[in-house]
């Protein structure tokens, strides 16, 4: 496992992990950490088939480290540079070559909420709490990241969270569709691992095509739709498709290679 810049990352088998590791600061994310996230995702994706994004207990992340704002976000130019670093981190998760699961305990606020919103799947413990407090700081939320929030919890909840700055609990987040599941704390790590392993066992090219098709459906984007179609066509000629058919006939588990 790599450990640096407040982030821990590594791959075990075919499951990657990125853990935000500043528990004394509620896993607040510094500018250096925002800048590091895309690099870690690229590195892990070379060997992992799925990545789990989490925070050091007891929290996921309180969002951007506000203590840096006077120096790293104090004027229009530095604020724009900081927002660009945010946007690149969100985009790296959204466009990751492999699926990303956000495993959420405790606080999931602001930029932490944005990271989770950009992930493919989100599960949480019952005590998790969620908020987008940008309006309480006098800041605008990055436009692309707002797409992720709308995609993940719908326009009505996105409006409420961003305009009110209110904190919601895990049950409310589940109701809005932001969470896939709520899992008791004692079973949480096992469930995250089980979900990651199940995804990792399936055909990578099929998963790639599905992820693109879902994004195209959400965004109504013609370019994404074309890419999804191409990715789907690629599966028809793949060795994995042949393996899937053979495994079905032979009544055994398939062994997919991602090609």
Which 3-state string (H, E, C) describes 117-178?
Answer: HHCCEEEECCCCEEECCHHHHCCCCCHHHHHHHHHHHCHHHHHHHHHHCCCEEHHHHHHCCC
pTM for this one? 0.94
Can you read off the two tokens belonging to residue 5? 């810049």
CATH fold of the domain at 2-200: 2-enoyl-CoA Hydratase; Chain A, domain 1 (3.90.226)
Three-point CA angle 231, 232, 237, nearest 5°: 95
End-to-end CA distance of the chain: 27
Position 73 pLDDT exceeds 70: no
Tens-place pLDDT, residues 112-167 = 999 999 999 999 999 999 999 988 878 777 787 899 999 999 999 999 999 999 99
């Amino acid at each position: 496992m790599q450990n640096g810049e407040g982030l821990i990352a590594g791959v075990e088998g075919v499951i990657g992990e990125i853990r935000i590791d500043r528990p004394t600061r509620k896993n607040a994310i510094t500018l250096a950490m925002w800048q590091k996230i895309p690099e870690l995702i690229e590195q892990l994706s070379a060997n992992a088939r799925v990545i789990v994004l989490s925070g050091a207990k007891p929290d996921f992340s309180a969002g951007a480290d506000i203590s840096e704002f006077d120096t790293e976000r104090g004027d229009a130019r530095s604020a724009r540079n900081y927002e660009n670093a945010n946007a690149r981190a969100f985009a790296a998760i959204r466009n990751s070559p492999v699926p990303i699961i956000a495993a959420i305990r405790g606080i999931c606020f602001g930029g932490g909420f944005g990271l989770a919103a950009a992930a493919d799947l989100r599960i949480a413990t019952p005590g998790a709490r969620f908020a987008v407090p940008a309006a309480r700081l006098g800041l605008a939320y990055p436009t692309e990241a707002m797409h992720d929030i709308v995609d993940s919890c719908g326009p009505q909840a996105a409006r409420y969270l961003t305009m009110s700055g209110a904190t919601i609990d895990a049950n409310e987040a589940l109701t809005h569709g932001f969470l896939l599941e709520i899992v008791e704390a004692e079973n949480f790590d096992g469930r995250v691992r089980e979900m990651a392993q199940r995804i990792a066992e399936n055909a990578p090219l099929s998963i790639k095509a599905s992820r693109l098709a879902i994004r195209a459906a959400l965004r109504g984007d013609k370019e994404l739709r074309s890419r999804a179609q191409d990715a789907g066509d690629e599966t028809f000629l793949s060795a994995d498709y042949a393996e899937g058919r053979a495994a079905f006939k032979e009544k055994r588990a398939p062994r997919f290679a991602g090609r």
